[in-house]
Structure 1
Amino acid sequence: MKTTHIPSHFTFSIHNITVHYELYNYNPDEEQPTYVLIHGFLSSTFSYRRLIPLLAQKGTVIALDLPPFGKSEKSTRFTYSYRNLANLVIQLIEHLELKKVILVGHSMGGQISLYVSHLREDLVDKTVLLCSSSYLTKANPSLIYSSYLPFFYLYVKNWLVRKGVLHNLLNVVHDAELIDEEMMEGYAAPFYDDRIFQALTRMIRDREGDLPSLDLKQIKTPSLLIWGEEDRVVPIDVGRRLHQDLENSRFISYKKTGHLLPEEKPFDVYENIIEFVGM
């Protein structure tokens, strides 16, 4: 199979919302795996820019923008629960008739990957969790009630924007020298469209929280957990707890590494994934 790092861009519609995804080296007749990449909160396919060309050497790669992020629709009618977002991923897998699916989820995308396995374990061969969100509960009732105020989205905008993209990036990477203009621009993009803040207001009240331990213990899909030991967003102790709850899992951690693993350790993560998949 010829390897190309130039994506084909597509959209598909489900539950009255349009989802954008990128497709690399799609060939349904191949026996190689299909890597489905799911990004984290306030991110997009951009977060996998260093990992995609590596994985594209070993199979089909699909990276999608979860709504309301990236190029996907920013609807205020969609229910932004993790279950619904997981169902979007399930529908995409079924729509493209994907086989040998390896889910790769970073941060919030890791928890959505776990929801996919919980709901449709038959569709997933293996799961790779990169600093996965874990054990977060639903937003407190006062915040949920406040989200119904007419201009609450402006509060959300101010809360997210006031410290700026540089401050946010410094919180998710260990080595500040990794931050360049391209990274700044890529992670600032979500804030250019006010509609995203209105959609995020809806997400505050819709997000039901991460899967509890009881549900996690029922997941049998082989899982690889990779963590940065300096992660300030989802600390490594959370990863170790998740490793204990996921019966069929392996755990790897990297020193002097923060939360943004696909950017900080793309080659190491790639090698871990390929070894885990067994290629």
Structure 2
Amino acid sequence: MAIISLAAITIIYLTSLEVGLRNYLISIAPNYHVQLIYSWTWMWDFIVMAIFFVASMTILFGKRWIRISPAGPIYTVGTAIILSLDAFFPYDTLGPLQYVVPYLVKFNAYLITALHLGIATAHSNIMFLSGSHGPFALQVFWPSAGVHSIIIYSLVMMAFLLKMNIPPKRKAMYFVLGVIGTIGVNVIRIFSLSLFVLKVSTNVSDFESFHSVAGEVMFLPWLFIFLLVVTYIETRRLKKLEITKQENDKNK
């Protein structure tokens, strides 16, 4: 009954967004010195979803939910935190998170030039692009570069590995491989934004529409597939170990 009530409250919240609540959230954003409205409104979406997940898991499993099903709650909580940082400390306010961005931007400019997709030059976190639709200056900050996805990946992966019966060395291997893969997804993320400008449109409104969904569309499938692959590999490994153990017991 409690879970049904939580679900009903969550549905009411999501429905209310379309009938005035989102506009209200936008209207009060200046009171809190929020500059990035999208991050502000999405932050509340993820806060509500995080509360729903954590409360539901706690009702169903108690404190054991941390080991049973941590991915969803941790992802939503982590994303809410990242969005709050982006809303209250926008652009390059958080210097450490911005540190790696120039390197990603330079690498992206190199890829565009090497693949002859257009003209691309990089300076710090700004990329000057010129393609089929004219010039465009793309300024990249840490959320757009996907730095937050590495943080979220780390939280989800650590929780995932915590409940897996895997030797420590294999856990470390999977974690590092996932970080490398997530960085690769981030490179593709910036590359796709650049490609949109070079080949599709330099209209700012069109670009913002694409930019607002491109990151999560790439990161979430990658995270899901990677966790699925790790689960599959380890399940097969454990089955083989069990079969080997049974055969050894028979031969004794």
What TM-score do you get using the length of structure 1 for normalisation? 0.23
Structure label with greater radius of gyration: 2
The structure in which a higher percent of residues are helix is 2
What TM-score do you get using the length of structure 2 for normalisation? 0.25
Structure number with the bigger relative contact order (C-alpha 8 A, sep ≥ 6) is 1
The structure in which a higher percent of residues are strand is 1
